[in-house]
Amino acid sequence: MMTRERLLDAAADLFREVGFRDVTIFQIMDRAQANRATFYLHFRDKLDLAAAVARRIGSSDNTALFEELAGYENPTVDDIRKWIERRLTITGKDPVLVSIIFEVIASEPNFAREYGAYLEYLADVVMKNAYAHLDSKRQKIVRSKIIMLTMLLDRVAMQIQHQKLEFAQKLSLDSMAEMLWSAVFGEKGRVAAPSGKSRTVRRQKRVD
């Protein structure tokens, strides 16, 4: 195995075992059986190494899930909630490393830009086929909503799975499902009005 990969594997294991903040570069080098010169040949510092670890997490699974979201025709809010639960299952595979992503985003501008570009890519996956009927201004608005809600969903995932905040569980998922349904699929009912403005076909309320 290449030395860089050994350093990445060692760092990921130690981040899980000890936590990002408490792990030292010496511990990582020792676990990877690498010396100081070799470490700095590949990475500037621990933060740069953590960013490289974060890049390896779950991107293909996320892309497939967003393609599924784009393919929904007329989902209910409950359908969207189940989709959110599946996404939480993906991030839940490695909650400690998910928390590291947010550590790195807060401290490393280049990685924060990469994360933003990845969210834009996921939004484009959803937008690709579903919103050709909207004018360009509405498309930009919907795309921005998807990006912001994905950021919020990632933050909720960290609160539920890593920080173990119980209050975030049910209410957050219900609220996220409502917001995501409205932002993504509420727009599918929007049609051009004669005045050039738009109107929205609203859901009928159930009468029990």
- Per the structure block, which two tokens stand in for 34? 């690498």
Cα three-residue angle 90-92-96, rounded to 5 degrees: 125
The string of pLDDT tens digits covering residues 96-129 is: 777 788 888 888 888 888 889 989 998 998 887 6
Number of domains in the chain: 2
Give yes or no: residues 171 and 88 share one domain: yes
CA angle 109/115/120 to nearest 5° reads 125
Per residue in 20-41, pLDDT (tens digit) is 888 999 999 999 999 999 999 9
One domain, residues 46 and 68: no
Indicate whether 32 and 116 sit together in one domain: no
Same domain, 77 and 95: yes
Question: How far apart, in whole angstroms, are the C-alpha atoms of residue 144 and residue 202?
Answer: 22
- Flag whether pLDDT at 203 surpasses 80: no
Q: Model pTM?
A: 0.72
Instruction: Compute the distance between CA of residue 156 and CA of residue 164 in angstroms, rounded to an integer.
Output: 10
Is the torsion defined by CA of 138, 140, 145, 146 positive or negative?
A: positive
Last residue of a domain, which of 54, 74, 92? 54
SS3 (DSSP) at 67:
helix
In angstroms, what CA-CA distances link 5 with 12, 21, 61, 92, 134? 11, 21, 21, 23, 45
